[in-house]
Amino acid sequence: MKRPAAVLTGLGVVGAHGIGRASLQAALLAGRPIASEVDRSAGYHAADSSRLAGLVPKLDLARWLPPAEARRLSVPSRFAVAAARMALEDAGIASLDGRRVAVVLATAFGALLFTEKLVRQILEEGPESAQPFYFSECVANAAAARVAIALGARGANVTITEREAGPLLALARGAQEVREGRADLAIAGSADEMTELLHALLDRFRGTARAEGGREEAPRPFDAARNGVLAGEGAAVVVIEREDDAAARGARFLARVAVSGAAFDATAPVSDWGDGHTTLARALRAALARAGHGAETIDLIVSCASGARRGDRLEAATLAAAWGEARLPPVVTPKAVVGEYGGGLLAAAVLAAEGVPFGRPLAFETRDPSLSIAPHDGRPLAAPSRVLITALAAGGAAAWAVLERP
């Protein structure tokens, strides 16, 4: 029996660009990395470390999250609850019967600030100093639980933690919840925070971009001089419904979830990307084929390329192998603007599926001759019919999704 289609009907996003889809859209069109100076006062950073991150500015989230409610929440929980309420409003849903509402959120690192505070309390001051509030908010599923409590969502409540692949795995799981009839509506997405400690650790793994060779510090996906990511934070949440249900209530469709697939690159070390592009390309082609699509039906790729040296190489090689002799469609790289983590890729992909234009990534200078791919140069494109989103995680996990115009 053919499963019903799952459609996205709402998007909520909080990021370095600000609150909501309009600010993200403007940022993607401008093509400039949204970066600000990281606090390095705690002494975690090396003297020559990267200095920038895609930090969420001090935003007034009160419309989405009253201060009294925010007070009890960790940063990722705040982002997630605000984005979830925003997504519901975007979907035109004023009141929600939560009995059959699923929540599926991804997080790469969870509520790290509270985790750090709790560990420090235990190790420095002694376990008797540990505050229960920090503990209950530092579990990885705190954000998903807070969203469920805020919305009264009593369907499945799942937190997926596969680093950079997590948001697409969450999107897939959310779509499955409604397609398989386990929920009537799913709230899916991801939430993360970028702390001083995490930024310093990513830097120690040489994961973050640095100023080098006269170039300013910036993420440069697919650039020959790329040397790391812009570490970001925020949340992106989509509302997923069965297409018939959404049509029946007269909802606006943002996109249909046409394909989801996942794989693993067993050649990857714990915190970097491997070289298993052949295997990943087979898995990507198989995922497209299972849905009855060939690579030739894709007319835009929203790539996970982030400026990571090995990550972008793996991404380029995987896409090249998946397309073979065929010509790749235009490839856009939203992480050049919004950075890594916080759901920016997922939100940008939804906008891309709606036909929102992407500007030239301003930090991109020189095509890497060893890669058969370069980011789209910003020229206007026809609104795509099918958008492939890619997500390759450090450590080996991989996920893909295709969003299509309903």
Q: Which residues in 36-95 contact other proteins (CB under 8 A)?
A: 43-44, 46
Residue (151 or 332) nearer to other proteins, CB: 151
CA 164 to chain centre: 7
Residue (225 or 291) nearer to other proteins, CB: 291
Least distance from other proteins to the Cβ atom of residue 263, Å: 6
How far, in Å, CA of 111 to CA of 124, rounded?
A: 20
Question: Rounded to 5 degrees, what are φ and ψ at 319?
Answer: -65, -40
Beta strand segments in 97-233, E: 101-106, 157-160, 185-192
Q: Look at the alpha carbons of 306, 346, 146, 21 in this order and tell me if their dihedral is positive or negative.
A: positive
Least distance from other proteins to the Cβ atom of residue 379, Å: 36
277 in Cβ contact with 390 (< 8 Å)? no
- Tokens 């849903």, residue located: 93
Looking at residue 82, its amino acid is A
Size of the residue set binding other proteins (CB under 8 A): 80
Q: Is 388 in the site for other proteins (CB under 8 A)?
A: no
Alpha-carbon dihedral angle through residues 90, 94, 98, 104, given to the nearest 10 degrees: 10
171 in Cβ contact with 401 (< 8 Å)? yes
Question: Rounded to 5 degrees, what are φ and ψ at 5?
Answer: -80, 150
Q: Is 292 in the site for other proteins (CB under 8 A)?
A: no
Characterise 263 by phi-psi region: left (phi > 0), alpha (psi -120 to 50), beta (else).
Answer: beta
Q: Which stretch binds other proteins (CB under 8 A): 21-29, 89-97, 255-263, 324-332?
A: 255-263
Q: Mask 214-253, x = binds other proteins (CB under 8 A)?
A: ----------------------------------------
Strand partners, 54: 232
Residue (157 or 227) nearer to other proteins, CB: 157
Least distance from other proteins to the Cβ atom of residue 171, Å: 13
Question: Rounded to 5 degrees, what are φ and ψ at 54?
Answer: -85, 75
Residue (173 or 313) nearer to other proteins, CB: 173
Query: Taking CB under 8 A as the criterion, which residues in 132-171 touch other proteins?
Result: 132, 134-142, 144-146, 148-149, 151-163, 169
* 359 Cβ contact list (under 8 Å, min separation 6): 28, 29, 30, 31, 378
Q: Which stretch binds other proteins (CB under 8 A): 54-62, 249-257, 278-286, 369-377?
A: 278-286
Query: Taking CB under 8 A as the criterion, which residues in 187-206 touch other proteins?
Result: 200-201, 204-205
How far, in Å, CA of 38 to CA of 174, rounded?
A: 34
Among 33, 110, 311, 375, binds other proteins (CB under 8 A): 110
Least distance from other proteins to the Cβ atom of residue 138, Å: 7
Burial grade of 247 (CB within 10 A; 0-12, 13-18, 19 or more): middle
Residue (112 or 300) nearer to other proteins, CB: 112
359 in Cβ contact with 31 (< 8 Å)? yes
Least distance from other proteins to the Cβ atom of residue 43, Å: 6
Q: Is 312 in the site for other proteins (CB under 8 A)?
A: no
Residue (93 or 130) nearer to other proteins, CB: 130
Q: Are strands 386-392 and 300-302 parallel, antiparallel or unpaired?
A: parallel
Residue (223 or 233) nearer to other proteins, CB: 233
- Tokens 């001083």, residue located: 196
Least distance from other proteins to the Cβ atom of residue 147, Å: 9
Residue (16 or 105) nearer to other proteins, CB: 105
Least distance from other proteins to the Cβ atom of residue 108, Å: 8
Q: Which stretch binds other proteins (CB under 8 A): 86-94, 124-132, 329-337, 358-366?
A: 124-132
Q: Which residues of 91-124 are buried (b: 16+ CB within 10 A; e: fewer)?
A: bebeebebebbbbbbbbbbbbbbbbbbbeebeee
Least distance from other proteins to the Cβ atom of residue 202, Å: 10
Least distance from other proteins to the Cβ atom of residue 192, Å: 12
Q: Is 213 in the site for other proteins (CB under 8 A)?
A: no
Q: Is 262 in the site for other proteins (CB under 8 A)?
A: yes
Q: Is 362 in the site for other proteins (CB under 8 A)?
A: no
Least distance from other proteins to the Cβ atom of residue 305, Å: 21
